[in-house]
């Protein structure tokens, strides 16, 4: 077996449990013993994606796949989908409500942050059919 797969569910609007899936992702990466910066970048992306599900998505899942060359995060949810993918990648663009902004979220940095911290990001989303993010990180050496 040259790869390792783990999968974690994420519940929408569950602000108490929010972040737990990303912490588990982080634990797996640490257990494998990747270098620190790769762990940090992957954790940042997992957390941003998890918060997107919690705030905007439907029932969701974070699946982590590790092989000797790369780390892949497949993040899916069956929520309302992203209406304008291009704009969602612009820093500061947000569709979030005033309520989330009061909570310190919804600054329009989620997807841009994922893009900046990963080696590749694919977004598949259709209105009312949910969203699928595929985020990849290269493993050096």
Binding site for other proteins (CB under 8 A): 1-4, 6, 19, 22-23, 26, 28, 30-34, 36-37, 39-40, 43-44, 46-48, 66-68, 113, 117, 139, 141
Round to whole Å and give the CA distance between 34 and 78: 31
Report the residue number, 31 or 128, with the smaller CB distance to other proteins: 31
CB of 63 to other proteins, least distance (A): 14
Report the residue number, 84 or 101, with the smaller CB distance to other proteins: 101
CB of 134 to other proteins, least distance (A): 20
CB of 6 to other proteins, least distance (A): 8
The neighbouring-strand residues paired with 139 are none
CB of 21 to other proteins, least distance (A): 11
Those residues with Cβ within 8 angstroms of residue 3's Cβ, 6 or more apart along the chain or in another chain: 65, 66, 67
Report the residue number, 67 or 122, with the smaller CB distance to other proteins: 67
Those residues with Cβ within 8 angstroms of residue 110's Cβ, 6 or more apart along the chain or in another chain: 48, 49, 51, 52
Those residues with Cβ within 8 angstroms of residue 57's Cβ, 6 or more apart along the chain or in another chain: 10, 12, 77, 78, 79, 80, 130, 131
Locate all alpha helices (DSSP H) within 57-80, ordered by sequence: none
C-beta separation of 82 from 125 below 8 A: yes
């Amino acid at each position: 077996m040259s790869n390792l797969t783990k999968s974690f569910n994420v519940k929408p609007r569950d602000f108490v449990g929010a972040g737990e899936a990303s912490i588990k992702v982080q634990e797996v990466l640490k257990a494998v013993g990747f270098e620190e910066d790769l762990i940090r970048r992957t954790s940042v992306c997992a957390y941003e994606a998890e918060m997107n599900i919690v705030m905007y998505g439907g029932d969701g899942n974070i699946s982590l796949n590790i092989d000797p060359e790369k780390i892949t995060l497949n993040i899916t949810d069956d929520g309302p989908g992203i209406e304008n993918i291009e704009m969602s990648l612009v820093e500061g663009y947000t569709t979030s409500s005033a309520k989330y902004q009061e909570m310190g979220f919804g600054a329009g940095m989620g997807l841009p942050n994922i893009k900046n911290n990963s080696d590749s990001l694919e977004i598949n989303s259709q209105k009312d059919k949910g969203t699928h993010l595929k985020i990849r990180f290269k493993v050096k050496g």
